[in-house]
Amino acid sequence: MYEYYKKYFEEIKVRQIVTKDRKKAEELLNLLRKGEDFVELEKSKSEWLNKEGGDLGFIKRGKMDQTFEDAAFALSEGEISDIVE
């Protein structure tokens, strides 16, 4: 039952910073790993924001791009993924 729930109903809260420039993405990732505030970088550097900034809210499996989902669901709370293309 747990595995069924995990597969079909698991959801996580996700934030993102979007840029088309790989070098900029690498620079932002380095800043985040050095302790810069995610939300501040998101607001000032992301090329795409919705009304909540880069906060996508809670997502369930099967609702996003597979590569994005795989990266997001592999993280523990508070972790930052590598660059996802």
pLDDT in tens, 22-64: 999 999 999 999 999 999 999 999 998 877 778 889 999 888 8
> What residue segments make up the domains of the chain, in order of their start?
2-73
Residue 13 to residue 24: CA distance in whole angstroms: 24
Q: At 29, list the tokens.
A: 């990732």
Residue 15 to residue 48: CA distance in whole angstroms: 12
**Residue 15: strand pairing partners:** 55
pLDDT confidence of 71, banded at 50, 70, 90? very high
CATH number listed for the domain at residues 2-73: 3.10.50.40
CA angle (39 as vertex; 85, 57 as ends), nearest 5: 70
Residue 51 to residue 72: CA distance in whole angstroms: 21
